[in-house]
Structure 1
């Protein structure tokens, strides 16, 4: 199974979960539910550590950049990420009432009541709350950058390596099993048919949103640099398809950098902006997370407004900074916000992860392709003295 990518494993898990759920007795489904409960509790335990492990060195490392150019790059990347979230919200707000109109609220209200219960649970209390972890990360990360504390930076990077190892060796390998259990349970409860129809509709909408947002990004970059946006997009196609295969912005940096240098005048801008944006610019992932979150909320009978989603979108742009360079890293970093700010429960979180993972590679491809547009925008707007 290690030779099979995460997406195929998730698809296999969903199919097997549905098939097993159709024929399994309740006692067997309860065994799966027990594993899901244990895995979900461990996920809750690791989330604050994940936030600290990736945001602290992410902020601290950014602080070592080159002043004005660093601030300008981070600002544009953040605004681009927030803009992507707003586009996803507005599109879902307009389309979901009709797109998902076959999924009545009654089908998904209080789904935990219909699901089989675990045989036992083990409490795994997190060391701190999600908001406390975020505030702690901001304070420590900014402090390390401001005071240039190399020892603490090295410690934070080592801690990040531990958390990333946990994600790569524990969470990601067990994620398909978790998804399998959830779908077996939902199938046993008679809920899976409507959920699969949602998957297909949301998947198509998200891909179209990715392509639309890339056109917006390159139209803006082309206007400022007086280049043809379609020509620039064509140049970045190798980076897009490389990201589809790697599902990692970090792993795609060499290709993104090579193609990005072809559309900027000053290569040093690309050398600076593209590796940085690989960790702080996640417009594609944000479109996916916001779209999926709103679909899951609608399925569960929850209401959403711009006032309730906007704080989540703003925090999402920060929380995903330096998200691990592994498949599904962005959604793992966002789980804490989904639970603390949007009230997601275990079933909603599992649905969210499954929805996200099925198109994670497309979100990553949108991220890295958009990095080229930011490099072009910087190259045409930042004063050359900023790079001196």
Structure 2
């Protein structure tokens, strides 16, 4: 019997990419560094081309598939998931804006600012214009998704739906075969450039504290979500959190909400959620509930703004959170899916120039997010079951009494 080869996960690969980027940028000649930066730049151009197609594919299918559900329960579940995501993101900004400035001394920020124009140049650049701009992709995805959801099976057939499903599968293949495998190269090139320009060590001296705060926010979010679920259902929050440990650890290992669904269904059963409710809520929330991811993205965006002396306030962050809470619907069930969906919208925080999806600031955002992605995913799936408990209670106390069926 052949032994299965151990596969290195994305997180270790990215850590290796960051370390290699620092080593190469510190000790290797400029010509070699420019070769890696050139390859990273070509990949970023391809990424810019793919992003609108990802939005069309995933958001369209995410909305179209919301048709399968249970009337009032669908509305309640979506409202709870969206509300949880908005609250988590807003709280993340308030905590980050309060704590992060104390981590970032004025001298460190000035050192980062002084190296802003020291970037390495590529040997060549390839322009790959996207078929759609970001806003057009979002509008098209919402129009198609909503129309497919309401018209399919009534005034139109399944041809377009099946076509979009196949298109989504193609984009998913691109994500798994090209985007995710080459992300370490992208991150490595970014850190080579940062090291050569002198930014790396000033930034890394700040970021370990950012990581610690973000992980603590995830754990507090999980605790509060189960406290609310416990208050509504009159169940012990601590017992439900204990029941969630297998789902949490599975999500840490897979970095995928979708891959964690089978284990999460078992956790929901341990919480006393009925089969019909857990089979409805858990898969749905795996696609639409992004509280943990929103905490990470908002915190990382706040840190990046502070490091680069970009203006940021609650009035800037809230519209971004509200938009991203919808755009991340059905973001790929793969490592980095949420940040890839968020990239086109970072201009809402960073501004048009700094928010270029294939620019250096967004590359830092990708690196920051990916190194904490597993914790954000674990927070997402844990919150899914807290929502499941709430929906189960509402169903048993109100909807089921009226004779409605799921």
TM over 0.5: yes
In the alignment, is residue 216 of structure 1 matched against residue 224 of structure 2? Answer: yes
Task: Render the CA deviation track for 1:361-387: whole Å, top value 9, x for unaligned.
Answer: 111111111111000011112322454
- CA shift, 1:150, in A, is 2.0
Give 5+ residue unaligned stretches, structure 1.
none
Change (3 A) 1:159 1:306: same
Change (3 A) 1:387 1:263: farther
- CA shift, 1:103, in A, is 6.1
Change (3 A) 1:5 1:265: closer
Instruction: Please point out which of 284, 308, 315 is paired with 2:292.
Output: 284
Q: 2:119: which partner in 1?
A: 115
What is the SS of the residue equivalent to 2:346?
Answer: helix
Task: Render the CA deviation track for 1:174-213: whole Å, top value 9, x for unaligned.
Answer: 1101111111111111111012123211110110000111
Q: Distance in 2 between matches of 1:313 and 1:111?
A: 30
Q: 1:362: which partner in 2?
A: 375
Aligned length: 388
Would you say the 8 A contact 2:90–2:317 is kept in 1? no
Q: Distance in 2 between matches of 1:102 and 1:368?
A: 38
Q: 1:105: which partner in 2?
A: 109
What is the SS of the residue equivalent to 2:322?
Answer: helix
- CA shift, 1:157, in A, is 1.2
Given the two structures, how large is their TM-score scaled by the length of structure 1? 0.96
Q: Distance in 2 between matches of 1:375 and 1:21?
A: 48
Would you say the 8 A contact 2:112–2:202 is kept in 1? no
Q: 1:188: which partner in 2?
A: 196
Task: Render the CA deviation track for 1:275-308: whole Å, top value 9, x for unaligned.
Answer: 1000100111110011111111111110101111
What is the SS of the residue equivalent to 1:113?
Answer: coil
- CA shift, 1:29, in A, is 1.9
Q: 1:46: which partner in 2?
A: 50
Q: Distance in 2 between matches of 1:164 and 1:372?
A: 26
What is the SS of the residue equivalent to 1:261?
Answer: helix
What is the SS of the residue equivalent to 2:32?
Answer: helix
In the alignment, is residue 152 of structure 1 matched against residue 164 of structure 2? Answer: no
In the alignment, is residue 347 of structure 1 matched against residue 364 of structure 2? Answer: no
Q: 1:225: which partner in 2?
A: 233
Q: Distance in 1 between matches of 2:300 and 2:77?
A: 28
Q: 2:390: which partner in 1?
A: 377
Task: Within 5 Å, give how 1:1-388 maps onto structure 2.
Answer: 3-101=7-105, 104-109=108-113, 113-148=117-152, 149-339=157-347, 342-343=350-351, 344-345=355-356, 346-382=359-395, 383-384=399-400, 385-388=403-406
Q: Distance in 2 between matches of 1:155 and 1:130?
A: 22
- CA shift, 1:322, in A, is 0.6
CA RMSD of aligned residues (A): 1.6
Task: Render the CA deviation track for 1:288-336: whole Å, top value 9, x for unaligned.
Answer: 0111111111111101011111111001111111111111111111111
Would you say the 8 A contact 1:240–1:369 is kept in 2? yes
Change (3 A) 1:110 1:297: farther
Q: Distance in 2 between matches of 1:42 and 1:339?
A: 19
- CA shift, 1:85, in A, is 0.4
Task: Render the CA deviation track for 1:117-169: whole Å, top value 9, x for unaligned.
Answer: 11221111111111111111111100000101422221111111111111111
Change (3 A) 1:293 1:386: farther
Would you say the 8 A contact 1:284–1:364 is kept in 2? yes
Would you say the 8 A contact 2:108–2:202 is kept in 1? no
